[in-house]
């Protein structure tokens, strides 16, 4: 048994960083999280975050039982259907996943609140990371803008797409533009908006495939009444259980009527223009959105990085393998990172590995599955794709829709899709 305390400093209180903090704390590792936000509830609520089977497995491995209970209570009802439709709301493929459903969903800020439960005193706010320095004896120090310093045996950069930890550790690592921009929003789910959508959409996640490479997603988040055991929410300062419809529309910058990233642009007007030939019910859904909920996403992705020399600093999640929303893999891959790194560091405190070999084992596996997910997600979001071309795009869209309709109509083929999709969320 290794009796020397192992100290880990995590930079960033995102989903992956907090999951890792729980996993390390449960293994008796001294862990502290340093977050640049000034308070626990800073920042906008953000768009929904979906957790699939990989993410759920990681959460169960890292979170204590009571926090896992809070997570389940904070999530919306599990959607049953995964639908693919045209912009005119004609079904091309619909998969009924039954009790398995299409993963769990919550808003990002609610999820962060849940995952901070049980880490009181270990998450330090208003800590803007500047740099790290390696010290004698194998330790490393994190330096912050307020002049404070945190010393640890390992620093983990979980500080997102614009990671300062990555920029120092891997200055050659590149973040690339995909040329795709998305506009997302939320619309209250009430009696009027419920009438806009058929039952399969209200009880599922629906992807819209439209001409010129435009796409969309619609997801109704409905919540059960809180159980008696949910009433206290153990220290949570923000809980969003409003019934809403979350949606997004995306496309190549060149196909929007104006660049959505320009300042002072009317984003709902851009959505209206891009969807002018879409079904009136979808257009009514977008028009009823809460203007304050609009979120603009410049979709970027990381370029794969070859192996680097392992040391007392490593990275996880978007800080190393930023990916597009394709397949919803980003947050789930970060959770997978957290569970893997937690497991590997647990072998250090048990005396089965050194810190160096544990971190190297994590990095080797993480690079393989992480950058594989990056490449797969980019296939769906890339302005170089033929889908974004006026003529070739229509031909390709027609082929994709026809293929889906065949699968939807042939029981054997559809069952294959159902089986494969269920595996993703079990």
- Written as tens digits, the pLDDT of the chain (426 aa) is 445 689 999 999 999 999 999 999 999 999 999 999 998 877 666 677 889 999 999 999 999 998 998 888 888 999 999 999 999 999 999 999 988 888 898 888 888 888 998 998 999 999 999 999 999 888 999 999 999 999 999 999 999 999 999 999 999 999 999 999 999 999 999 999 999 999 999 999 999 999 999 999 999 998 876 554 444 555 666 667 789 999 999 999 999 999 999 998 999 999 999 999 999 999 999 999 999 889 899 999 999 999 999 999 999 999 999 999 877 789 999 999 999 999 999 999 999 999 999 999 999 999 999 999 999 888 878 888 888 888 888 999 999 999 999 999 999 999 999 999 888 887
Cα 33 to Cα 50: distance, rounded to the nearest angstrom: 23
- Sheet with 81-86, strands from edge to edge, namely 91-96, 81-86, 204-209, 215-221, 244-252, 175-188, 295-302
**pLDDT the model gives residue 232:** 53
Full-model pTM: 0.93
**pLDDT the model gives residue 137:** 85
Q: Which of 364, 359, 330 is nearest to 343 (CA)?
A: 359
CB 157 within 8 A of CB 316: yes
CB 312 within 8 A of CB 138: yes
Integer-rounded Cα Rg, in Å, for the chain is 22
- Reading phi first (left if > 0) and then psi (alpha if -120 to 50, else beta), residue 74 is in alpha
Q: Which of 211, 209, 180 is nearest to 395 (CA)?
A: 211
**pLDDT the model gives residue 227:** 52
Cα 69 to Cα 102: distance, rounded to the nearest angstrom: 19
Q: Which domains does the chain have, with CATH numbers?
A: 7-425 (3.50.50.60)
Angle between helix 53-62 and 411-425 (nearest 10): 20
For 263, residues 6+ apart whose C-beta sits below 8 A from its C-beta are: none
**pLDDT the model gives residue 329:** 86
**pLDDT the model gives residue 45:** 62
Q: Dihedral of CA 253/258/262/268: which sign?
A: negative
């Amino acid at each position: 048994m290794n009796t020397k305390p192992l100290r880990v400093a995590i930079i960033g209180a995102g989903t992956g960083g907090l999951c890792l903090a729980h996993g390390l704390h449960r293994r008796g590792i001294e862990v502290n999280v340093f977050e640049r936000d000034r308070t626990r509830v800073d920042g906008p609520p953000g768009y929904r975050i979906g957790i699939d089977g990989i993410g759920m497995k990681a959460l169960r491995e890292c979170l204590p039982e009571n926090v896992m209970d809070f997570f389940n209570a904070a999530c919306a009802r599990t959607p049953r259907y995964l639908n693919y439709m045209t912009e005119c709301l004609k079904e091309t493929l619909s998969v009924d996943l039954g009790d398995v459903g299409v993963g769990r969903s919550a808003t990002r800020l609610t999820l962060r609140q849940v995952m901070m439960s049980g880490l009181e005193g270990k998450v330090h706010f208003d800590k803007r990371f500047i740099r790290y320095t390696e010290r004698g004896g194998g330790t490393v120090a994190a330096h912050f803008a307020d002049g404070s310093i945190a010393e640890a045996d390992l620093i983990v950069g979980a500080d997102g797409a614009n990671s300062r930890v990555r920029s120092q550790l891997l200055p050659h690592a590149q973040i690339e533009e995909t040329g795709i921009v998305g506009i997302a929003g939320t619309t209250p789910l009430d009696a009027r908006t419920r009438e806009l959508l058929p039952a399969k959409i209200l009880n599922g996640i629906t992807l819209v495939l439209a001409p010129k490479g435009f796409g969309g997603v619609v997801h109704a988040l409905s919540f059960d009444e809180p159980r008696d055991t949910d009433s206290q929410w153990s220290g949570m300062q923000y809980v969003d259980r409003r019934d809403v419809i979350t949606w997004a529309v995306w496309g190549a910058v060149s196909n929007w009527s104006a660049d959505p990233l320009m300042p002072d642009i009317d984003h709902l007007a851009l959505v209206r223009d891009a969807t002018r030939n879409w079904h009136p019910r979808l257009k009514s859904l977008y028009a009823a959105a809460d203007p304050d909920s609009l979120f603009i996403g410049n979709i970027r992705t990381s370029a794969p990085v070859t192996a680097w020399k392992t040391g007392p600093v490593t990275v996880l999640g978007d800080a190393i393998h930023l990916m597009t929303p394709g397949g919803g893999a980003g947050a789930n891959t970060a959770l997978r990172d957290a569970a893997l790194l937690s497991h590997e560091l647990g072998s250090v405190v048990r005396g089965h590995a050194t810190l160096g070999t544990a971190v190297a084992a994590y990095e080797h596996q993480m690079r393989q599955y992480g950058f594989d997910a990056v490449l797969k997600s980019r296939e769906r979001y890339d302005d170089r794709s033929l889908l974004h071309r006026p003529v070739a795009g229509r031909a390709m869209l027609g082929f994709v829709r026809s293929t889906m309709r065949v699968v939807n109509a042939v029981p054997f083929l559809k069952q294959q899709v159902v089986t494969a999709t269920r595996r993703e969320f079990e």
